[in-house]
């Protein structure tokens, strides 16, 4: 589980890119936003955000949600009826970290597909997972994808091949794009390149983009129409939501290109740790997956926390995430802390 910041003198918090705090300029944009009642479709700022993200993704419409979990749930259930099955990678956030909402609230059945060490599966894996028409089987209606997955970028061509396999069997395609902008910046392409292969995409604003709240689901008008009703059913309709949407618009203006800084900073840390024996380091966009020798894990966690460093200290592998509130000084602090621990200083 992630460390808690309670009673610790925090010098660098690498637990997640959800920890970012609104910048002064973002707060000013939020305070001055023009607002209305979004349940009446009268909030001009959230409408502008929805339209902008839909256009960026090459989709017809968008819908603001309070969280990525809620937008993913509405996205999945906009394509699945009760008892329908959806295919999904075994390490995906929708499967593992969203409280089983699609099954619990929509009676949609997830079918996990095994993945490799970079969280990829193949078009043939999709084809093999689709159920043949039979009275004993659920009906497979959806392929649910994610990009990035644990920081690993799924290329446009790869997503296209997976979507192509899904289309062969008449499946819809949903993409959890919580960190799709990280993938876009890493490869130097627009998000529409991936969205072109999907029916719906969930785009989070409160991770690397640095907004405090919000996710937007984009797609064709029919899918977003179904999602709109689902949002209301889930209690997700809000009123003067433009104050939150303004943060998202500010992030799109100022925080997309700077994601490259997060990726570079994670690379800086990886390079600094590369010479330490007994430490396995995997760098993927703004994430580092660090696995020490088993016997060192507990003492290393205590050492890092004593140095004021927080991360997600799973065992045996730890996760460190760079973000808007991590600078080079903090990155170097982390490398120095690891170096001192393994040198015995």
Provide the 3-class DSSP secondary structure of residue 118: coil
Average pLDDT, integer, range 276-285: 96
pLDDT at site 211: 98
**What is each CA distance from 57 to 31, 190, 201, 336, in whole angstroms?**
28, 8, 8, 41
Same fold for the pair 12-20+258-343 and 33-253: no
CATH number of 12-20+258-343: 3.90.1150.10
108-126 pLDDT tens trace = 999 999 999 999 999 999 9
pLDDT category at 4 given cuts 50, 70, 90 is low
**What is each CA distance from 321 to 8, 16, 41, 269, in whole angstroms?**
19, 5, 36, 11
Of the CA atoms within 13 Å of residue 152, those in its CB half-sphere come to 18
Provide the 3-class DSSP secondary structure of residue 13: strand
pLDDT at site 83: 97
132-172 pLDDT tens trace = 999 999 999 999 999 999 999 999 999 999 999 999 999 99
Average pLDDT, integer, range 13-31: 98
Nearest CA to 196 out of 211, 213, 175 is that of: 175
pLDDT at site 168: 98
Domain limits, the chain: 12-20+258-343, 33-253
CATH T-level topology, domain 33-253: 3.40.640
Antiparallel, parallel or unpaired: β 309-310 and 318-321:
unpaired
Distance of alpha carbon 254 from the chain centroid: 19
Crossing angle for the helix pair 328-343 and 259-273, nearest 10 degrees? 20
Q: Do 152 and 186 touch, CB atoms closer than 8 A? A: no
Provide the 3-class DSSP secondary structure of residue 46: helix
Name the pTM for this structure.
Answer: 0.95
Please say if the pLDDT value at position 7 is more than 60.
no
pLDDT at site 5: 58
Q: Do 201 and 276 touch, CB atoms closer than 8 A? A: no
Q: What percent of the chain has pLDDT over 90?
A: 95
Q: What percent of the chain has pLDDT over 70?
A: 97
């Amino acid at each position: 589980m992630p460390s808690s910041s309670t009673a610790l003198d925090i010098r660098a918090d690498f637990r997640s890119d959800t920890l970012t705090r609104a910048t002064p300029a973002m707060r000013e944009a939020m305070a001055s936003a023009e607002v209305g009642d979004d349940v009446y479709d009268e909030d001009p700022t959230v409408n502008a955000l929805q339209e902008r993200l839909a256009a960026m993704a090459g989709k017809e419409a968008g819908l603001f949600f309070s969280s990525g979990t809620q937008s993913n749930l509405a996205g999945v259930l906009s394509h699945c009826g009760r008892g329908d099955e959806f295919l999904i990678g075994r390490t995906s956030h929708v499967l593992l970290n969203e409280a089983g909402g699609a099954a619990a609230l929509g009676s949609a059945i997830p079918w996990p597909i095994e993945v490799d060490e970079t969280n990829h599966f193949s078009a043939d894996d999709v084809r093999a997972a689709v159920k043949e028409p039979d009275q004993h089987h659920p009906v497979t209606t959806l392929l649910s994808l994610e990009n990035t997955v644990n920081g690993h970028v799924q290329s446009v061509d790869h997503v296209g091949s997976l979507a192509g396999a899904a289309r062969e069997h008449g499946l819809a395609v949903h993409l959890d794009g919580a960190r799709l902008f990280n993938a876009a910046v890493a490869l130097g392409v627009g998000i529409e390149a991936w969205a072109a292969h999907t029916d719906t995409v969930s785009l989070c604003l409160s991770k690397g983009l640095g907004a405090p709240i919000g996710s937007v689901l984009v797609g064709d008008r029919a899918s977003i129409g179904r999602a709109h009703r689902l949002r209301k059913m889930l209690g997700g309709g809000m009123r003067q939501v433009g104050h939150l949407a303004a943060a998202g618009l500010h992030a799109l203006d100022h925080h997309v290109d700077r994601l490259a800084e997060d990726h570079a900073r994670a690379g800086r840390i990886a390079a600094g740790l590369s010479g330490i024996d007994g430490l396995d380091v995997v760098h993927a966009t703004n994430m580092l997956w660090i696995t020490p020798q088993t016997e060192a894990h507990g003492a290393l966690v205590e050492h890092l926390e004593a140095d004021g460093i927080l991360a997600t200290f799973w065992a045996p592998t730890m996760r460190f995430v760079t973000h808007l509130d991590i600078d080079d000084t903090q990155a170097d602090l982390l490398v120095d802390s690891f170096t001192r621990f393994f040198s015995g200083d």
